[in-house]
A and B are shown apart, each in its own frame.
Chain A
Amino acid sequence: MFEPILLKNVDVQDGHLLSTYEAGGGYQALAKVLRGYTPDEVIDLVKQSNLRGRGGAGFPTGMKWSFVPKRVDKPKYLCCNADEGEPGTFKDRIIMERDPHQLIEGLAVSAYAIGAEIAYVYIRGEYVTAIRRLEQAIAEASAKGYLGARILGSDFNFAVHIHCGAGAYICGEETAMLESLEGKRAQPRLKPPFPAVAGLYASPTVINNVETLVCVPHIVVRGADWFRGIGPDRSPGPKLYCLSGQVRKPGLYELPMGIPLRELVEEHAGGPPPGRKIKAVIPGGVSAPVIPERGLDVGMDFDSLAAAGSMLGSAGVIVIDDATCMVKVATRIIEFFHHESCGKCTPCREGLNWVVKVLRRIEAGEGAPGDLEQLEKLCKGIFGNTFCALGDGAAMGLRAALAHFRDEFVAHIEERRCPFH
């Protein structure tokens, strides 16, 4: 059995209170770095741990931090990406609702490492409970001196502010999030300059996902080797997997990185509902290309999934059984991206609109010969040409669905109806 680390407190009574957190050894990582580590040493430690960002892209966290210029006359900022909009994903919510101090400690240690005195936690506005819990935790932590001026008697000053999103998936994209924090329409920014150099208010800014930040105190306490020892060396650590869809035991699972997808779905989550078979799994939120059943033996880590033509993304694992129409799933996913397109770039805004129209037609049994070629052509026009990864995600997902389940699309067109009805 893998002993939960990140989820240690989530099922505990009053797990969200400071007393519970302290009783389990909370804030010792913060004390440890403030007493004995320079910021650069913390960065080195995180580098050695091979921690990679849990927000989706899997960028090495220590390396990202090291891009922050050391000497600038501007303030530096840490932004926590708690926008969690990727369909099929709910891990950050559960941490913030049930163990918010873990995040606060992660923020404090990370801010210390990069030299930030202010962090903004960008939480999606729907997460009212998480917002309240986090506010409460900030108040508790401030009262106890884990936040504020001269923390634990050191020279380190640090404040955490919550910024509520208001319903826009694109805010999860880090530069769109910065725009949103600056009070603008959340549309991604050009890079370069990268946020580490010129981010929020044109100041050096690090953006990290909740789960990424939450790993940091554990690395401090248990060491980089411990972390690297869990799962594949290039993509290690404990990992939160969000299981949903047609499985018997949907829920949040903490298991090592690299665990085979089949094991995750069939053993931990209990497999498909009685009498059904798994048809396909989306392994990392809807941006991740779907994997047909025969591909389930892949390891759940950044590199293995990439090699298998999909991605770990947010580890939102959505299980689809054999009674489900893939055209419908694909349509719903593209509708989501279409709805959430920020509207900035042509291929995403216009291309997805076109794709949606064709898909809806096919799904409704009104498809025509040539539609699939048209969709493929559109995917080609969109993929790689959009301003941010949202459009790419949509095109990749559709390509995978068309590749693996072409027969279902063809059946819709030829039979002029949905064979699953």
Chain B
Amino acid sequence: MLKVTIDEQTLEVEAGSTVLQAARRLGIDIPTFCYLKRLPPLASCRMCLVEIEGLRRLQPSCATAVTDGMVVRTNTTLIDETRSSMLDMLLANHPLDCPICDKGGECELQDMVMAYGPRRSEFRDPKRVFHSRDIRLSPVIIMNVNRCIQCQRCVRMCEEVVGAVALGTVEKGMDTAVTGFEGSLASCDQCGNCVEVCPVGALMSFPYRYKARPWDLAETDTVCPHCGTGCQLTVGARKGEFMRVRSKQEHGVNRETLCVRGRFGLDFIESRDRIKRPMIRRDGALVPVSWDEAGDYLRRRLSAVENKAAGGLASARLPNEVLYQFQKLMRTVFRTSNIDCSSRWSAPFDTLGPLMAAFHSRAPLDDVIGNDCVLVVGGNVTEENPVTEYLLRDAARRRQAGLLMLSARPSRLDADARVVVRVPPGGEAASIASVVAGLVAAAGQALPGDALATIASTIGRPTAETGGEGPGRLATALKEGRSATVLVSVDLLRSPEARATLQQLNNLLQILRLLGKGTAMQFLFDRANQMGAWDMGVLPAALPGLQAVTDDAARATLARNWGAEIPSEPGADLDAMLELCIDGRMGALYIAGTDPLIAYPDRDFVTRALGATDLLIVQDTFLTDTAGLADVVLPAAGYGEESGTVTNNEGRTQKVRKFREPAFEARGNLAIFDFVAALRNRALQPSTQDEIFDEIARLVPAYRGLTQDGLGAHGTFTTAVPTPPTGEFFALPPAPTATDALMLITGNGLFHNGYLSERSDILNTVANDPYVAMSAPDAARLCLSDGDQVVVRSAGGKLTAQLKIDRQFPKGLVFVPENYRALRLNSLMRRGEYPCPVEVQGVHRTLEVDRTSRIWRGV
């Protein structure tokens, strides 16, 4: 510890602390512009200069490390004069157009001048006008170069945090300007983090332009609805109308960052696609009716199917309270365990449960990625969970974490990784098995004898052929590290291989644990409340708290509290429910807030299934394709119209807050459940959000003791008591025979991750057009070049889009982003088959179908 005296106050700080950090800890205010907590100091604005005893010159406190016994002064006349002088110089050419500047009222320069500036300036010469018009760098980012004070926060944010390297600085001296390549940011991430960190009105949000003044806005702190990272954000609304999103420096996992979806993709709440009134099917068409009429209709229809099966599907974006109440409704009123929370894939709970129980960590991402090794398995974290990716980049660059990437899809983060293993589509399980084999081979003796015997008898000799040398290097890195974190993309759960992949992950984590390494595991969900949905028991085999449905004690506790019987058998997941529908056995299917017709991988199958359902109830904010097939449509409150809590990938429970009342005749989701329960002459108790939260905090083990008031600005972590690993190891199922066939996989793109993003006008504007990506050798073999229009054809259907050649792609991989509604990607897929074999051709040539290449099937 080092002793430092600042303005006569003394403090002990750790070695490496800067004077600025020390001063802030003492509550001494030192003004800064270029300093940003998460970036290395630049020391260019010279606002933070301080006097240090023994040094002739003033020193930038942001970049000066404390030395033992250092004596610092920040409150002398010289410092006052210097600060004032810096501001005077900055203002000399700064346009004083505050009245029409979007930053007016929340401008750091304005504030700083008030606090430290000269009362008047001597400067009388004409100001420089650099660019007389603002420059539209992208659809969402607009730049006023004259106002820029060259703090370089934006450029550093773009390069060092986001990793996009889209913004840069051109020219030099007084001509210096921040801009994109050739003056455009048209192809950047559009995350707007540059806008967020701009202290003045230089980089501005175009959608928010001239819309409001900060003091007109009612601001509400809430959580992003888009992905499972769970970024905190602040919605600014005026009279209930959505205006903008900002992020706050010190809040949440994300602090001041967001991605494009969070920052610009919330305008979906104003989508024209809104369901205004309840609707019922009459003579084949959906007609708007009153809630009472809808109730009467629904009561009749429900009693007609009382003796048939029922099922429920709810969105993993809905708040915990809604999800909890949904499964309670299904279990106690509809008396079924046919419950699921994803319209694309269902988690195999028999494998997932033990894995979660033994290894899943409810802990800050910042902590778990501080481990020596961070293995990211599957997916593309850059596009699926951008803000998580920012933190991973920081861990790799600044905290020396060894990033290990294993995925079919390349990502930007690969550039910062220590090892990148590119697996063939669908080859994740086999690659992880190779890593496991490598670890066992390398560390054999270090493993306890009995474990080694078990491993040998189950895993046997590894089949490393899919892996090449990558898995070997990955195993070596894991072996050398003291601790490892595994981050699992949901991408892996969508395939029929999910069980095998989870089993191999279980093997890997168990072995790491046996080798004495600290381990942690989290999922990288692409739905904002996927974690909460699991926790709330929106699963056919698990009750709230991820307790097995077959667990009598757990069931008894819940039944007692709910005052109702709970079915004791695991139910059908979505896939099985759809089969029940097809077989004509599904009486009522209740879908809340999700659109399987777009998302379920087999459009034809789901269309037939929904058509064959006796009664399809859709409760939603927007008129989805699925709602179009419903018998009853119930308009529900949307994001921002209902408060509640969500639990992010880290297991952090945070508050989503409403900032307006449900629009039109929509009702809160909870109220609608009450409404439906009442039609069956039942009442769900309790029924308000607050009371339900309290019940969750009482009955769901990981949530025990949480209070809403305790959630604060950062949320609170749920806690689960880990159970020891099972000690069971899993053999790899026989590897699929590799063929030359092209395999289609899909996943989220940066701009779209589904249901909500596709209703955002802004995201639709900035998103690149849907595309087909494949490797250079595959493209060459097919005589295709970048930018060609291509047809992708499968046994199920076809689509046409532009080809994007990706040099990092493995051979055989074809990627088309999902969630482009018009593309109807899921019509190419067939149930249970993923990756999906396809053929790709240039638009003009005729297709010769080679049916033999389509035999590759997952096992």
Contact = CB atoms under 8 A, between A and B. Distances in A.
Q: Is chain B in direct contact with chain A in the complex (CB below 8 A)? A: yes
A349 B150 contact: yes
B114 to A, nearest CB: 18
B46 A345 contact: yes
Interface stretch (A37-45, A288-296, A354-362, A401-409): A354-362
Contact of B89 (A168, A170, A344, A346): A346
Given A343-B172, A354-B92, A381 B86 contact: yes
A340 interface: yes
Contacts of A342: 172-173
Contacts of B47: 346
A347 B49 CA distance: 12
Interface stretch (B122-130, B282-290, B614-622, B638-646): B122-130
A341 B57 contact: no
Interface stretch (B37-45, B323-331, B533-541, B688-696): B37-45
B43 A387 contact: yes
A370 interface: yes
Top 9 A-B pairs ranked by shortest CB distance? A381-B85, A343-B176, A350-B89, A357-B125, A341-B173, A343-B173, A384-B57, A344-B44, A345-B44
A343 B176 CA distance: 6
Nearest to A361: B125
A339 B175 CA distance: 9
Contacts of B86: 346-347, 381, 385
Tell which of A168, A343, A347 has the most Cβ of chain B within 10 Å: A343
Contacts of B171: 343
B173 to A, nearest CB: 4
Given A344-B150, A358-B125, A385-B82, A350 B93 contact: yes
B45 A190 contact: no
A338 B89 contact: no
Given A185-B169, A347-B85, 16 more contacts: A185-B172, A341-B174, A342-B172, A342-B173, A343-B171, A343-B174, A344-B44, A346-B47, A346-B149, A349-B174, A350-B90, A353-B174, A358-B125, A377-B85, A380-B85, A385-B57
B123 A354 contact: yes
29 contacts: A168-B172, A185-B169, A185-B172, A190-B41, A341-B172, A342-B173, A343-B172, A343-B173, A343-B174, A345-B46, A346-B150, A347-B89, A349-B150, A349-B176, A350-B90, A353-B93, A353-B174, A354-B89, A361-B125, A377-B85, A380-B81, A380-B85, A381-B88, A381-B89, A384-B58, A385-B46, A386-B46, A387-B43, A387-B44
Tell which of B47, B150, B172, B175 has the most Cβ of chain A within 10 Å: B172
A195 to B, nearest CB: 16
Contacts of B492: none
A374 interface: yes
Nearest to B85: A381
A299 interface: no
A377 B122 CA distance: 10
A350 B92 contact: yes
B63 interface: yes
A346 B86 CA distance: 7
A351 interface: yes
Which secondary structure dominates chain B's binding surface? loop
A345 to B, nearest CB: 5
A368 B122 CA distance: 12
Tell which of B58, B82, B125 has the most Cβ of chain A within 10 Å: B125
Interface of A: 168, 170, 185, 190, 338-347, 349-351, 353-354, 357-358, 361, 368, 370, 374, 377-378, 380-381, 384-387
A382 to B, nearest CB: 8
Contacts of A361: 125
Nearest to B125: A357
A20 B58 CA distance: 52
A350 B130 CA distance: 14
Interface in B143-184: 149-150, 169, 171-176
A346 B92 contact: no
A353 B150 contact: no
B125 A190 contact: no
A352 to B, nearest CB: 8
Contacts of B49: 385
Given A351-B89, A353-B92, A381-B88, A338 B173 contact: yes
A384 B124 CA distance: 25
A341 B173 CA distance: 5
Contact of B58 (A185, A354, A385): A385
Nearest to B40: A190
Nearest to B126: A357
A346 B46 contact: yes
A407 to B, nearest CB: 23
Contact of B173 (A339, A346, A380): A339
A396 to B, nearest CB: 13
A115 to B, nearest CB: 26
Contacts of A378: 89
A18 to B, nearest CB: 39
Given A346-B90, A354-B92, A381-B85, A338 B174 contact: yes
Nearest to B47: A346
Nearest to A344: B44
B45 A346 contact: yes
Nearest to A357: B125
Interface string B373-403: 0000000000000000000000000000000
Contact of A190 (B43, B149, B172, B174): B43
Interface in B506-525: none
Nearest to B168: A185
Contacts of B43: 190, 387
A266 to B, nearest CB: 36
A340 B171 CA distance: 11
A185 B150 CA distance: 14
A194 to B, nearest CB: 14
A345 B152 CA distance: 11
B56 to A, nearest CB: 8
Tell which of B89, B125, B171 has the most Cβ of chain A within 10 Å: B89
A342 B150 CA distance: 11
A384 B175 CA distance: 23
A354 to B, nearest CB: 5
A347 B45 CA distance: 8
A185 B149 CA distance: 18
A387 B46 contact: yes
Contact of A340 (B123, B150, B173): B173
Contacts of A368: 124
B176 A374 contact: no
B113 to A, nearest CB: 14
A66 B47 CA distance: 35
Contacts of B176: 343, 349
A381 B45 contact: no
A344 B169 CA distance: 11
B46 to A, nearest CB: 5
A168 B44 CA distance: 19
B493 to A, nearest CB: 41
B131 to A, nearest CB: 16
Interface in B45-102: 45-47, 49, 56-58, 63, 81-82, 85-86, 88-90, 92-93
A239 to B, nearest CB: 28
Nearest to A350: B89
Contacts of A170: 172
Contacts of A340: 173
B73 to A, nearest CB: 16
Contacts of A384: 56-58
Contacts of A386: 46
Contacts of B172: 168, 170, 185, 341-343
A390 to B, nearest CB: 10
B425 to A, nearest CB: 36
Interface in B115-146: 122-126, 128
Nearest to B84: A381
A343 B93 contact: no
A386 to B, nearest CB: 8
Contacts of B88: 381
